[in-house]
Structure 1
Amino acid sequence: MVTLTTDRAADGRGEAVYEGVNRLGRDEVTLRLRRGGGDLFTLERQLVRAGGTTLTQVFPLGAESALHDFVSADPYGDALQPSYLALRQRYLAEGGERRAAVQRPGLAGDFLDQIGEIEHCRYEAELLPIVQTVTRALGAAQYIFSWLVLDAKSGDVIEHRYLVGCEPAWLNKYIDHVWYMNDPSLEYAKRNATPVLLSRLDLYNEVHWLTEAAAHGFCNNLVCPVHAGTNSALVTLQASNAEPAEAGEGILWRNRRQLRALACELLDWRLAGLQQQATSQFDLSEEELKILRLVHGGGTASNAADALQVSVKTVYGVVYPRINNKMGTPNINKAVDMAVSCGLIK
Structure 2
Amino acid sequence: MEFSVDDLQNAADEMELIPLVKRTVQTYGADWFVFVTLHPSDYSDSRSTYRFLIGCRPEWCQLYNANRWYLTDPCLEYARSNTAPVLGSVLPVQTAGQRRMLVVAAEYGFRSFYIVPVHTSERGRIGILYLGSEQAPEQMEPRFHDARPFYRALAMELLDWSSGAVREEALQTTGLTHEELRILRLVKAGFTATDIAAELKVSSITVYRQFQRINEKLGVARITAAVKFADEHDLLA
Aligned to 2:36: 146
Secondary structure in 1 matching 2:110: coil
Amino acid at match of 1:214: A
Q: Could you state the TM-score of these two structures normalised by the residue count of structure 1?
A: 0.59
Higher relative contact order (CA 8 A, sep 6+): 2
Please state if 1:158 is matched with 2:54: no
1:162-201, aligned counterparts within 5 Å?
A: 162-201=52-91
Secondary structure in 2 matching 1:117: helix
1:172-321, aligned counterparts within 5 Å?
A: 172-204=62-94, 206=96, 207-227=99-119, 233-316=125-208, 318-321=209-212
Counterpart contact for 1:151–1:232, Cα < 8 Å: no
Amino acid at match of 2:10: H
Please state if 1:111 is matched with 2:14: no
Please state if 1:333 is matched with 2:230: no
Larger proportion of helix: 2
Secondary structure in 1 matching 2:226: helix
Hey, what's the Cα distance between the residues in 1 that align with 2:205 and 2:121?
Answer: 33
Counterpart contact for 1:192–1:225, Cα < 8 Å: yes
Hey, what's the Cα distance between the residues in 2 that align with 1:290 and 1:179?
Answer: 37
Amino acid at match of 2:58: P
Decide which structure has the larger Cα Rg and report it. Answer: 1
Which whole-Å deviations, capped at 9, do the CAs of 1:19-71 have from their partners, x for residues lacking one? Answer: xxxxxxxxxxxxxxxxxxxxxxxxxxxxxxxxxxxxxxxxxxxxxxxxxxxxx
Q: Decide which moves more: 299-308 or 240-249.
A: 240-249
Please state if 1:123 is matched with 2:17: no
Which whole-Å deviations, capped at 9, do the CAs of 1:274-332 have from their partners, x for residues lacking one? Answer: 3223333444443332221111111122220111122334423x232233234333222
CA deviation after TM superposition for structure 1 residue 136, in Å: 0.6
Q: Could you state the TM-score of these two structures normalised by the residue count of structure 2?
A: 0.82
Q: What's the C-alpha RMSD, in Å, of the aligned pairs?
A: 2.8
Counterpart contact for 1:148–1:157, Cα < 8 Å: no
1:165 to 1:320, Cα distance in 2 relative to 1, 3 A: closer
Q: How many residues end up aligned between the 2 structures?
A: 234
User: Structure 2, unaligned stretches of length 5 or more?
Assistant: none
Amino acid at match of 1:276: E
1:288 to 1:181, Cα distance in 2 relative to 1, 3 A: closer
Secondary structure in 2 matching 1:225: strand
Hey, what's the Cα distance between the residues in 1 that align with 2:181 and 2:61?
Answer: 40
Counterpart contact for 2:3–2:21, Cα < 8 Å: no
Hey, what's the Cα distance between the residues in 2 that align with 1:162 and 1:125?
Answer: 13
1:116 to 1:169, Cα distance in 2 relative to 1, 3 A: same
Amino acid at match of 1:166: C
Please state if 1:136 is matched with 2:26: yes
Secondary structure in 2 matching 1:343: coil
CA deviation after TM superposition for structure 1 residue 132, in Å: 0.7
1:279 to 1:129, Cα distance in 2 relative to 1, 3 A: same
Aligned to 1:342: 233
1:221 to 1:304, Cα distance in 2 relative to 1, 3 A: same
CA deviation after TM superposition for structure 1 residue 163, in Å: 3.0
Amino acid at match of 2:55: G
Which whole-Å deviations, capped at 9, do the CAs of 1:61-113 have from their partners, x for residues lacking one? Answer: xxxxxxxxxxxxxxxxxxxxxxxxxxxxxxxxxxxxxxxxxxxxxxxxx5242
Larger proportion of strand: 1
Hey, what's the Cα distance between the residues in 2 that align with 1:122 and 1:219?
Answer: 32
Amino acid at match of 1:139: G
Counterpart contact for 2:115–2:128, Cα < 8 Å: yes
Which whole-Å deviations, capped at 9, do the CAs of 1:228-273 have from their partners, x for residues lacking one? Answer: 7586854321112233423311111121232222222222222212
- Identity of counterpart residues, as a percentage? 35
1:281 to 1:218, Cα distance in 2 relative to 1, 3 A: closer
